């Protein structure tokens, strides 16, 4: 089987803007694995992950003309696919905590914070210390790994890991406080 031609990001973007199916397929093939991996972090259901990932790529192709070459193309695609994930799970409130506790050692019951909506969770994230919030968003929301985060923020991988652990610890405290307030007000 002949090896597929490697196109530059500029060629891929220009081709996708022209609605060139070959370029769309090349872009899809180049980034599909990473985006699917990100989707799989939030669901074990391969059909849901595939559907969400493909919805994300559809949005990518529709919005490709808005890519301004500020940052990486992969990062831009990640944000769009992440929004597709968020949109999908927002429809089902039992998945509200999917962003906070993914990859966490203990299983958290969806009922741990009754009455908490995605918007509330996002507000809690803004209460984190600045650098911990940045690392948390890049890792848990946008799907970057600690090496990539370290390079982007000028820190070591271990420092990135510390900030992520710090963010999770503080979010759990904030969620517990939120839960206690809900119980007091509705109990």
For the segment 138-186, what is each residue's pLDDT rounded down to a tens digit? 887 777 788 888 888 899 999 999 998 999 899 888 887 776 766 666 5
32, 66, 91 - which closes a domain: 91
Which of 26-35, 61-70, 117-126, 154-163 is least confident?
A: 117-126
52 and 89 Cβ atoms separated by less than 8 Å? no
* pLDDT tens, residue by residue, 77-109: 988 998 888 778 766 544 444 444 443 333 333
34, 64, 91 - which closes a domain: 91
Q: CA 178 to CA 114: how far, in whole Å?
A: 9
* pLDDT tens, residue by residue, 33-67: 999 988 887 777 899 899 999 999 999 999 999 98
Return the higher-pLDDT residue of 112 and 179.
179
18 and 31 Cβ atoms separated by less than 8 Å? no
Instruction: Give yes or no: residues 18 and 80 share one domain.
Output: yes
Instruction: Give yes or no: residues 119 and 185 share one domain.
Output: yes
45, 65, 91 - which closes a domain: 91
Number of domains in the chain: 2
Instruction: Give yes or no: residues 71 and 106 share one domain.
Output: no
Return the higher-pLDDT residue of 124 and 165.
165
Q: Is the pLDDT of residue 12 over 90?
A: yes
Q: CA 172 to CA 166: how far, in whole Å?
A: 10
CATH number at residue 187: 1.10.10.10
Instruction: Give yes or no: residues 134 and 186 share one domain.
Output: yes
Instruction: Give yes or no: residues 109 and 142 share one domain.
Output: yes
Instruction: Give yes or no: residues 33 and 103 share one domain.
Output: no
For 18, the domain range is: 1-91
């Amino acid at each position: 089987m002949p090896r597929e031609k490697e196109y530059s990001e500029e060629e891929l973007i220009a081709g996708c803007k022209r609605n060139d199916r070959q370029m769309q397929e090349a872009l899809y093939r180049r980034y599909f694995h990473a985006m699917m991996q990100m989707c799989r972090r939030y669901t074990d259901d391969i059909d849901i992950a595939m559907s969400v990932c493909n919805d994300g790529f559809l949005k990518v192709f529709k919005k490709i003309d808005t890519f301004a070459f500020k940052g990486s193309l992969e990062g831009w695609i990640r944000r769009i696919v992440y929004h597709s994930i968020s949109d999908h799970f927002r429809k089902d409130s039992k998945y509200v905590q999917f962003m906070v506790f993914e990859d966490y050692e203990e299983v958290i019951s969806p009922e741990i914070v009754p009455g908490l909506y995605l918007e509330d969770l996002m507000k809690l994230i803004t209460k984190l210390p600045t650098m911990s919030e940045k690392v948390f968003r890049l890792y848990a929301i946008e799907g970057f790994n600690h090496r990539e985060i370290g390079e982007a923020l000028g820190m070591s991988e271990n420092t990135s890991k510390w900030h992520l652990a710090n963010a999770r610890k503080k979010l759990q405290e904030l969620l517990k406080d939120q839960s206690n307030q809900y119980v007091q007000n509705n109990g």
